[in-house]
Amino acid sequence: MKKRLFLILTLGLAFLQTAGAADKYDVVIYGGTSAGVAAAVQVSRMGKTAVLIEPGVHLGGLSSGGLGWTDSGRKDMIGGISREFYQQVKKHYDDPKSWPLQKRETLNVERGSGRYLPDADAMWVFEPKVAEAIFEEFVKEKGITVVRKERLNRETGVKKKGGRITSIRMESGREFLAPMFIDATYEGDLLAAAGVSYHVGREANSQYGENLNGVQKTQMHGHLFVEKIDPYVKPGDPKSGLVARVHADGAGEDGQADHRVQAYNYRMCMTKDKRNFVPFPKPEGYDEKQYELLFRNFEAGDLRMPWSPGLMPNNKTDTNNYGAFSTDNIGMNYKYPEASYAERDEILNEHETYQKGLMWSLGNHPRIPEEIRKDMLEWGLAADEFVDNGNWPHQIYVREARRMVGTYVTTELDCRRVRVAKDSVGIGSYQMDSHNTQRYVTEDGLVQDEGDVQVSPGGPYVISYGSIIPKKDECENLLVPAAVSSSHIAYGSIRMEPVFMILGQSAATGAVFAIDAGSAVQDVPYAKLREQLLKDGQFLDLPEGLKAKIYIPLAKMKGVVADDAAAKYEGEWIRSQGSPQFIEEGYHQDKNEGKGEKSATFTVELKEAGKYDVRITYPANTNRASNVPVTIHHQAGVTTVKVNQKVNESKDFGFVSLGIFEFEKGATKVVISNKDTNGYVIVDAVQWLKK
């Protein structure tokens, strides 16, 4: 009888917990990403209670999910709890016992400052299990309540009253009440369920006055097919249909908006160390037809190993995408941001099967070159990582999903410091980085990838408080440090784990101040927020002497204008942004080498015949050539003008006239050469102005 009574009471209490009484905290944080952990720690440090709700099991998101090579930009701009995390990484690896499989002195990372530096205060590469242990220690140290395996009821689980979220309910029925909420998910699930505006896909360049958004066929320079690859099942026969993983709809026009998001992948932790080695399995459901483009690419002569290992401690890697057909599962994630949980599981399973099948194929398929197979079989998964998931990362790299449209939208203009927000809550500095978004058939009937953009912002930039809060009329008590309010291309820079932790801490600080004042998060005095963030070690200001880059979009130009990105080049030219002003995203220069071997040809279609003033623009400098030959093809023939690029006194976007010429309707061209030049030759833009 006592046992039965005890059982009844136990079941009754469980029922009340899940279906009746709600859990109450000062701040509810949904998403156990690195941003979520940083937010929870800051809330606790400021004397409030926080609950960290993680839909899965593991804390840290990508930082503990395989992204052990920290893409960070300017590391001296990383402060607060974010830097504390990397300091704890360094403290861990200071202990010789943390190097059972490798002497720490042998960690020699060629790019970045990834190696172990005894005198440094922080370390920027780390094993996934080490990162997870640090995050767990962060929440344990502050006694933060962590709730795992609880997913938000995205249909009816968010209750609002008077513009505020009052509670959120999980699929299990468990409910959480608080005056403040933080959405720390990569997907923006809470903000969407709360009715906050968001965007999925790429905006048009015209929407925010950007240059690198939307479709990017012209701007691309990496992760492309470099050989001519036929897309058809029967080569040369469109009627035979397309091989797997390519579409026939065309890429679209440059700068055009679309629904596509950049590709996801799993950041695998790999090793060659046989003491800690698991061979890549052939996945269930393996279909060799999915890799036809991989086979054809090798057979055409592209012998690059299609993945990139970032070296980490104990003979491990953070393995990323590389080349035309690699770990990025291009085009298979478009539905993920707004998919149901069941649909997301299907997408994740497909991604896992694809990537495991790719790695198995590289080591075992007979159509892979023997030297590639031999090299690949030296590699396997690290046996001591992700031990509860078959040594496979538990977190896919959600490079972007939903992005809030908040009080302030951070865009390319912010990244380039064309504008600088007055309410900084953190610093970003990584390149504007989008992975490929689609694989299509070109007009020439070949396969090509599209969407890869990697352009430096030219230094640090500030991130506005308005980018982590919704519009006031949509929600007054929600902050969003991961799915932040930004354009597609700006998010490509912001979406780095150190920045997510920075913004998580800043969001938590704003939440606590709003609680104390009984105000909306939009009404938190910035001066007070700034004072606290600086006190807590955040960096909010640009370095002294850092000047804004002035980039001028083509939309501001009169007449017919061709940017350097549209030119056809002979010889090796490199892109640059070293000068303070330029058209679009930069310019090309000849490295002051190979004189007479290099040229840039600009070809345009003139819709009307008549006289045109032909002009070029270039950022001047004393190291430039004073005798750059520019050849104009016009109705009367060909004229070559020598331009002194050491000086440019033009006030009209830097355009200098080469003369007025008569043109017929149709195609014409201008050629800039470095023949016999006496310094650096610059290629930026050419303009035809109707007279």
pLDDT in tens, 475-510: 999 999 999 999 999 999 999 999 999 999 999 999
Residues 341 and 563: their CA atoms lie apart, in Å, by: 45
Determine what percent of the chain falls in helix, strand and coil, rounding each to the nearest 5. 25, 25, 50
> 10 Å Cβ neighbour count for 128?
28
User: What backbone phi and psi angles, to 5 degrees, belong to 183?
Assistant: -95, 105
pLDDT in tens, 75-101: 999 999 999 999 999 999 999 999 999
Indicate if the pLDDT at residue 14 is higher than 50: no
Question: What confidence score (pLDDT) does residue 9 get?
Answer: 41
Q: Token pair of 99, please?
A: 């190097």
Q: Answer whether 586's CB lies under 8 Å from 455's CB.
A: yes
Higher pLDDT, 626 or 218: 626
pTM of the model: 0.82
Question: What confidence score (pLDDT) does residue 12 get?
Answer: 41
Average pLDDT of span 364-376: 98
- Give whole-number Cα distances, 401 to 202, 254, 259, 459, in Å: 11, 22, 11, 26
Question: What confidence score (pLDDT) does residue 549 get?
Answer: 63
Question: What confidence score (pLDDT) does residue 218 get?
Answer: 74
Average per-residue pLDDT in the chain? 93
Indicate if the pLDDT at residue 17 is higher than 70: no
- Give whole-number Cα distances, 594 to 568, 577, 586, 587, 597, in Å: 17, 21, 21, 18, 5
Beta bridge partners of 317: 311
Residues 53 and 169: their CA atoms lie apart, in Å, by: 11
Confidence of residue 108 (pLDDT cuts 50, 70, 90): low
Beta bridge partners of 613: 660, 689
Confidence of residue 260 (pLDDT cuts 50, 70, 90): very high
Confidence of residue 6 (pLDDT cuts 50, 70, 90): very low
- Name which CATH class applies to 550-690: mainly beta
Pairing of strands 403-404, 198-199: antiparallel
- Give whole-number Cα distances, 288 to 90, 238, 299, 371, in Å: 43, 21, 15, 20
The CA R_g of the chain, rounded to the nearest whole Å, is 27
Confidence of residue 275 (pLDDT cuts 50, 70, 90): very high
Q: Answer whether 123's CB lies under 8 Å from 90's CB.
A: yes
78 Cβ partners below 8 Å, 6+ apart? Answer: 72, 86, 427, 498, 502, 539
Question: What confidence score (pLDDT) does residue 233 get?
Answer: 98
Q: Answer whether 462's CB lies under 8 Å from 424's CB.
A: yes
Average pLDDT of span 176-187: 98
For the chain, the structural domain boundaries read: 2-199+465-535, 550-690
pLDDT in tens, 317-336: 999 999 999 999 999 999 99
Kindly report which listed range (279-293, 314-328, 586-600) carries the lowest average pLDDT score.
586-600
Torsion of CA 456, 460, 464, 470, to 10 degrees: 40
Residues 625 and 212: their CA atoms lie apart, in Å, by: 30
Average pLDDT of span 116-120: 87
Give the CATH H-level superfamily of domain 2-199+465-535. Answer: FAD/NAD(P)-binding domain (3.50.50.60)
> 10 Å Cβ neighbour count for 301?
10
